[in-house]
Amino acid sequence: MNAKLIIADSESNADLFYATRFLAHDPLIFIEAGGKKMIIVSSLEFGRAKRQAKVDEVILSKAGKGKAIEEVAAILKKRGVKEIQVQESFAYSVAKKFEAEGFTFDITSSLFPERGIKTKEEVAWIEEAQRATEAALTVGLTVLRTPGATSESVRKAIDAHLFDAGYDAKETIVAGGTQAADPHEQGKGPLRKGETIVIDIFPRSRKTRYFADMTRTVCIGEPSVKLQKMYDAVLGAQELIFSMLKPGIPGQDIQGVVEKFFQAQGFPRTETQGAPEGFIHGVGHSVGLELHERPSINNSNDVLREGNVVTIEPGLYYRDVGGVRIEDIVLITKDGYRNLTNFPKQFVL
């Protein structure tokens, strides 16, 4: 028999929280063997775990300092476990101790690949987070329209609104002008008329632990001809991607079509002083308990399946003018997709 084993805190380990629905900041031990889930916790967490953890058994650890491995090994041996399935991040030093106890290992990138197929409840949680994100962006755009707006003032308004709504936003992007040529540049300083402003918001619910993700690009006043063409091309690319979405399509097929589309629109991928320009990232990625999950829509071999929740975020980036990115979250359905994002795509404010 084999068993799944995680030794971690469920705040940082998404697989562990997915398996137990129990949020713990301190490490605990999770075992799944013979179709049964159990966790081993300290006396600090035992009472709360009994009430909240969605597992078959909660065990109070009785191991002294440095004896946890022996305690877990005894439990596994009692259940006839020979092989332990662990995540790639499992500590090597701990694995060697289990090997000394006679266990072999099966290392996997994800203990729960079914996380990629979202339940109706999970989709509802993501939609709820997306609604909060949209409300926060509305607040941010109000600040943006005021004289003297800066990346910092807009970001502060967005993050504060989300915090009050029960969400944590970290590293929200409000990047204006040439700063937006770097997709992950947070942005700083004044936001000027006639420049693109990329606003990318990806908060996490403190209640459900699920993420949202949305990007809009705006311009205060009239943009240059090149910026308008960039925006139109990115919006057109997103519409093209939407037309391709369905179960069974490989992400690399979508990626290839989008790259050719941008090339045909006059926006090739190039380099300036060694820095890549044009469409320089993947089309999208799955979202859930982690901001970036599988499947990915890029040059990988991942294939879309019904129930995937993925971002669709084409973008163009040139160092002389900045960047444009538009991002929605969609649910892959039996016949195509459903957009979980309601926020308008208005370029000129």
Q: What is the pLDDT of residues 297-336, one digit of tens each?
A: 999 999 999 999 999 999 999 999 999 999 999 999 999 9
Which residues make beta-bridge pairs with 327? 215
Residue 128 has which token pair?
């709820």
Backbone angles phi, psi at 174, to 5 degrees: -135, 85
Which pLDDT belongs to residue 230? Answer: 98
Give the C-alpha separation, 11 to 89, whole Å: 15
Residue 300 has which token pair?
């990988």
Q: Residues 6 or more apart from 231 whose CB is under 8 A from it?
A: 196, 217, 219, 223, 324, 347
Count Cβ atoms below 10 Å from residue 284 Cβ, excluding itself. Answer: 28
The CATH number assigned to the domain with range 116-339 reads: 3.90.230.10
Which pLDDT belongs to residue 67? Answer: 82
Amino acid at 91: A
pLDDT digits (tens, 9 = 90+) for 172-186: 999 999 999 999 999
Grade residue 110 by pLDDT with cuts at 50, 70 and 90. confident
Give the C-alpha separation, 312 to 315, whole Å: 10
Q: Residues 6 or more apart from 277 whose CB is under 8 A from it?
A: 181, 269, 270, 271, 317, 318, 319
Please give the share of the chain, as a percent, with pLDDT higher than 70. Answer: 99
Which pLDDT belongs to residue 132? Answer: 99
The CATH number assigned to the domain with range 2-111 reads: 3.40.350.10
Give the C-alpha separation, 246 to 7, whole Å: 37
Q: What is the mean pLDDT of residues 269-276?
A: 89
Whether the bond between 295 and the residue before it is cis, its omega within 30 degrees of 0, is yes
pLDDT digits (tens, 9 = 90+) for 67-87: 889 999 999 999 999 999 999
Q: Do domains 2-111 and 116-339 have the same CATH topology?
A: no
Give the C-alpha separation, 348 to 98, whole Å: 60
CA dihedral over 279, 281, 282, 284, signed as positive or negative: negative
pLDDT digits (tens, 9 = 90+) for 8-32: 999 999 999 999 999 999 999 999 9
Domain-wise residue ranges, the chain: 2-111, 116-339
Which pLDDT belongs to residue 142? Answer: 98
Q: Residues 6 or more apart from 240 whose CB is under 8 A from it?
A: 257, 258, 261
Which pLDDT belongs to residue 77? Answer: 94
Grade residue 274 by pLDDT with cuts at 50, 70 and 90. confident
Q: Mean pLDDT of all residues in the chain? A: 97
pLDDT digits (tens, 9 = 90+) for 199-249: 999 999 999 999 999 999 999 999 999 999 999 999 999 999 999 999 999
pLDDT digits (tens, 9 = 90+) for 250-264: 999 999 999 999 999
Give the C-alpha separation, 96 to 112, whole Å: 24
Residue with tokens 């900045």: 322
The answer on pLDDT for 60 being more than 80 is: yes
Grade residue 65 by pLDDT with cuts at 50, 70 and 90. low
